[in-house]
Structure 1
Amino acid sequence: MIGRLNHIAIATPDLQAAAQRYRDCLASPAQVSAPLALPEHGVTTVFVDTGNTKLELLEPLGEQSPIAKFLEKNPEGGLHHLCFEVPDLAVAITTVKASGIRVLGEPRIGAHGLPVVFLHPKDCGGVLMELEQTSATAG
C-alpha cells in the first residue's frame, strides 16, 4: 500500500541554525528550501532535498505545537516521523483502520499542498508515520 519514502522529519529547537548547518555543511544551498510557516499544523518547516528523499526540519509554531511537546521531552530535537506516499489517502485510511492501526485526526493539507494523515506510533512499532496522497485528484 505505501509508496516511496517522501521525507524524514526532524524536530529542532532552532530551525535557522539547523537549516544553516545543512546549507553550509551537508548540502548545497539549492537543496535547502526557504522556511514555510504552517499554522494549521503548528510548525515552521524547511525541506532539504537529498536527491532520493527529503529531510523536513520542523520548529514549533506556538506553545500548542506538537513539535513543542516533542521538544519538551527531547530538548535537542531528533527524529519526529517518517512520511510515505500513498496513491489514494481515503483507501489507505480504510486499509490501516481495518488492520487495527489508529489514525490520528482527520486528513489535512500538508506542506506539499496534498492531503496527509498521521498514524499512531504505538501501532507502528513506536514510529509516528505520516501518509501523504501523491496527487490532489485521488479519492
Structure 2
Amino acid sequence: MLGRLNHVAIAVRDARSAAKIYGAAFGAEISDAVPLPEHGVVTVFATLPNTKIEFIEPFGEASPIAKFVERNPDGGIHHLCYEVPDIVAARDQLIGEGARVIGDATPKVGAHGKPVLFFHPKDFSGALVEIEQT
C-alpha cells in the first residue's frame, strides 16, 4: 500500500533560511515559499535526487506547528510523508489496523496540490505520518 517516501518535513522558524542551507550544502533545488493558510504553515521544499525535504514554518499564531517550533527553536523533524495510490483506501486500511487520523478523516489538498491525511504519532512509533495520493 505505501509507496515511496515523498518527503521528510522539518519544522523551523524560517523555512526560507533553513532551505537555503540545504541548497548551499547539498546543491538541492529550492522551491519558492508557499503559504498554506488552511494547514497553518508556509512550506519550502529542497529537492534531492531521491526525495525532498519540506521546511515548514508557522503561518500565524494559531498554526498547529507553533508550539512544536516553540519547544524546538532550532527546528526538528516534524513528519514523514509517504505516497499512496488511493488515499481513501489507504486511510480505511490504516484505520482498520488501529491507526488514528488527525482531524476529520477527510483528505485536504497539501503542498503538492494532492490530497493528504495525517496519522497520530503514537500509532507509528512516535512519528507523525502523512500520506499523499500520487
Smaller-chain TM-score range?
A: over 0.9
Q: Deviations over 1:27-56 (max 9, x none)?
A: 24xx11010111101111111110100000
Tell me which residue corresponds to 2:130.
Answer: 130
Tell me which residue corresponds to 1:24.
Answer: 24
TM-score by length of 2: 0.94
Tell me which residue corresponds to 2:53.
Answer: 55
**Which of residues 55, 59, 63 is equivalent to 1:65?**
63
Which 5+ residue runs of structure 1 have no aligned equivalent?
Answer: 135-139
The residue identity in structure 2 corresponding to 1:42 is G
CA distance in structure 1 between the aligned counterparts of 2:2 and 2:121, rounded to whole angstroms: 16
CA distance in structure 2 between the aligned counterparts of 1:77 and 1:129, rounded to whole angstroms: 18
TM-score by length of 1: 0.91
Which 5+ residue runs of structure 2 have no aligned equivalent?
Answer: none
- Which secondary structure does the structure 1 equivalent of 2:67 belong to? helix
Tell me which residue corresponds to 2:102.
Answer: 104
Runs of 4 or more consecutive aligned structure 1 residues displaced over 6 Å after TM superposition: none
Q: Deviations over 1:72-131 (max 9, x none)?
A: 221111100000000000000110000000011131000001000000000110000000
Map 1:76-91 to 2 at 5 A.
76-91=74-89
Deviation at 1:26, TM superposition (A): 2.5
Tell me which residue corresponds to 1:137.
Answer: none
Deviation at 1:15, TM superposition (A): 1.8
What is the root-mean-square deviation of aligned Cα atoms in Å?
1.0
The residue identity in structure 1 corresponding to 2:66 is A
Tell me which residue corresponds to 2:4.
Answer: 4
